[in-house]
Amino acid sequence: MYINNCPKNNPDPQGGCVAKFLGRFPFEPMQENPLLGPSSSTLTKMGALRCDDVVNRQQGWRLVTCNWLHVGIVLFLASMLSLVTAVNLRDGSTLSVDMVVVGIGIRPNTGLFEGQLTLEKGGIKVNGMLQSSNSSVYAIGDVAAFPVKAFGETRRLEHVDSARKSAKHVVAAIMEPDKTGEFDYIPFFYSRIFTLSWQFYGDNVGEVVYFGDMSGSAFGAYWVSKGQLVGAFLEGGNKEEYEAIAKVTSLRPAIEDLTELERQGLRYAVTVSQKPAVSPPVEVRASDLLLEKPLYAWHATAGVIIAASIAAFAYFYGKKRRRW
């Protein structure tokens, strides 16, 4: 409030500073800050959190300073009275805590479609062509519950990549239904927060195997379910490494030894992804056997026969001429 100095910086506001008797410490006018505190420009100057400043202007110090700022005395008193010291769990037990992290999700508003379309898993159930139970109505993005082939079940995915790809697919399904196959999507999620950037592919079920240095720049995890690698997460990878975890997840390789997987870490995904794709076994019939002989052998045999024929012809022709 000393820096804010309302009487000097806001000398003639309508209604004036609040509690003028405080000298240079009065609060901003109620129109400016109804919580009884400084102006927003003072808060910015003192280190308020502005994502744009942190991300684009390298002002990471705001992450620390913002914790010590109060927008006004009203909020200050409210937060003093709202300190969380414990959490009561459903089973009746109590956990003492210093801090609570709240996970906020979304719930699609499907009320409009109740009784009109088949709903499943909190969304509109669609088939592989993203058609709902009314074939003229399609659903995509967060609200669509679609068959995920890799998992053999219907899922609703709340990620921007799935929203974009399902939008692209539905356009093709409507415009060219005969040329468009079923939506085949491996769940993918990416996000970025300040200097952190991660990607996740597949499913986070089964046993988790962590790898990398959690205090360093690159680390991740694999999920192994029923002996198969079904999901992979990577923080701080490069393009090739992200492509590797995407590929290894789509291949769903069998995993026998979790300790070995942990030891190999990211190297496992990179190695598996670099292996050439195994071609499907070819059925060989008796009639195909001749074709199985490599082509260069035919060329060599034909070449030898032609050369021998020319040599024989030249020999007899030469002999005949000598007789003439």
Q: Which residues bind ligand FAD (CB under 6 A)?
A: 106, 109, 141-142, 158-161, 163, 189-191
Q: Give 192 or 320: the residue with its C-beta nearer to ligand FAD.
A: 192
Q: Is 3 exposed, middle or buried (0-12, 13-18, 19+ CB in 10 A)?
A: exposed
What is the DSSP pairing of strand 144-148 with strand 123-125? parallel
| Shortest separation between residue 102's beta carbon and ligand FAD, angstroms | 12
3-state per-residue secondary structure call for the chain: CCCCCHHHHCCCCCCCCECHHHCCCCECCCCCCCCCCCCHHHHHHHCCCCHHHHHHCCCCCHHHHHHHCCCCHHHHHHHHHCCCCEEECCCCCEEECCCCCCCCCCCCCCHHHCCCCCEECCEEECCCCCECCCCCCECCHHHEEEEECCCCEEEECCCHHHHHHHHHHHHHHHHCCCCCCCCCCCCEEEEEECCEEEEEEECCCCEEEEEECCCCCCEEEEEEECCEEEEEEEECCCHHHHHHHHHHHHHCCECCCHHHHHHHCHHHHHHHHHCCCCCCCCCCCHHHHHHHCCHHHHHHHHHHHHHHHHHHHHHHHHHHHHHC
Structure tokens at 257: 């030894």
Q: Give 161 or 262: the residue with its C-beta nearer to ligand FAD.
A: 161
Cα Rg for the chain, rounded, in angstroms? 35
Q: Give 43 or 124: the residue with its C-beta nearer to ligand FAD.
A: 124
CA angle 147, 151, 157 (to 5 degrees): 55
Q: Give 46 or 163: the residue with its C-beta nearer to ligand FAD.
A: 163
Q: Give 161 or 182: the residue with its C-beta nearer to ligand FAD.
A: 161
The residue nearest ligand FAD at its CB is: 141
Contact 165, 185 (CB under 8 A): yes
Contact 146, 118 (CB under 8 A): no
Q: Give 140 or 269: the residue with its C-beta nearer to ligand FAD.
A: 140
| Shortest separation between residue 166's beta carbon and ligand FAD, angstroms | 8
